[in-house]
Amino acid sequence: MYHIAAVWLLGHAAAIFSISTYKVMEHDQLVTIATFDFDWQAHIAQGLLTEEGIQSVIDNEIFGSLYPIGFNSIGGINLKVMNRDAPRARQIITRSKI
């Protein structure tokens, strides 16, 4: 009887933990907010976000330098931010008209 109760309690604690962990992870995921043709565009956008206190990462930058011709066919240079910062970051980038 005690083992069944312990398993039942542990099962519910694990379920609660996994739900709360998922909600935290959902806000902490990196999402692409903009894709650029050239690395200098991505760096200007990243600088604008940094000035506003938003941390960002540039993805695919090296491939753009190594394979400049036809690079956009594999996705371009992506600027990524945390999911929680994405709406504000998109506004900043859109306003800048880069």
pLDDT at 16: 41
What is the tens place of the pLDDT at every residue in 78-90?
Answer: 999 999 999 999 9
Locate the domains of the chain by residue range. 29-96
- What global pTM score does this model have? 0.66
50 exposed, middle or buried (CB, 10 Å; 0-12, 13-18, 19+)?
A: exposed
What is the tens place of the pLDDT at every residue in 8-35?
Answer: 444 444 444 444 444 555 668 999 999 9
- C-alpha span between 97 and 39 (Å, rounded): 16
Report the mean per-residue pLDDT for the chain.
Answer: 76
- pLDDT exceeds cutoff 90 at 46: yes
pLDDT at 62: 73
Higher per-residue pLDDT: 14 or 77: 77
- C-alpha span between 96 and 68 (Å, rounded): 24
- C-alpha span between 16 and 20 (Å, rounded): 6
CATH topology for 29-96? Alpha-Beta Plaits (3.30.70)
In order of 9, 61, 78, 82, the CA distances from 41 in angstroms are: 53, 11, 10, 20
